[in-house]
């Protein structure tokens, strides 16, 4: 079950993943959102990122010095592979780089990503303010406990007064 805020996070991550499908990841391919999330949403972000094999960083800042959460596609943090026909570095053989991307592997990885996205897409969204939100639920809990204490106190108080009369 997702909260409304978690659904919004998921929708942004899903759009990022699907928009970059089939592209070769680069270091500037990222999704950033200001890190103003409560603990349960940070936990959700970590779980979602792990499920989708995205790298997530929590320690980046924008121009206004606001903390950001940044998602990157797998492989975007690695150094780029030199293009075919480029000059080899000293000490390297003259062998050409082979294209390691296999269409079958890519297709299977995207099918796995689609299964994860579908799982989160189907998750029901609960209203976060159900019962009035955290503050209202806390207030109600305090009032219920106070009412219970009053009933118990006056019940005992009535017994002692009836004994005195």
Q: How many residues does the chain have?
A: 165
> 5: burial class by Cβ within 10 Å (0-12, 13-18, 19+)?
middle
The whole-number pLDDT of residue 113 equals 86
> Average pLDDT of 139-162?
81
CA–CA separation, 108 vs 113, rounded Å? 9
Task: Look up the pTM and report it.
Answer: 0.60
Give per-residue pLDDT as tens, 47-96: 998 998 888 888 888 888 888 898 888 766 555 555 555 555 554 444 44
| Share above pLDDT 90 across residues of the chain, in percent, rounded to a whole number | 15
Sheet containing 30-34: give its strands across.
30-34, 67-72, 55-61
């Amino acid at each position: 079950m997702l909260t409304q805020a978690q659904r919004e996070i998921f929708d942004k991550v899903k759009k990022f993943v699907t928009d970059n499908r089939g592209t070769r990841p680069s270091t500037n391919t990222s999704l950033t959102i200001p890190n103003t999330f409560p603990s349960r949403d940070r936990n959700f972000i970590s779980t979602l990122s792990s499920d989708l094999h995205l790298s997530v960083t929590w320690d980046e800042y924008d121009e206004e010095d606001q903390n950001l959460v940044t998602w990157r596609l797998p492989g975007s943090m690695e150094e780029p592979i030199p293009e075919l026909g480029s000059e080899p570095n000293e000490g390297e053989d003259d062998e050409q780089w082979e294209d390691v991307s296999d269409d079958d592997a890519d297709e299977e990885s995207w099918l796995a990503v689609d299964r994860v996205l579908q799982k989160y897409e189907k998750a029901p969204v609960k209203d976060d303010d159900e019962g009035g939100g955290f503050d209202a639920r806390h207030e109600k809990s305090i009032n219920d406990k106070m009412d219970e204490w009053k009933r118990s106190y006056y019940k005992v108080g009535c017994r002692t007064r009836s004994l005195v009369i």
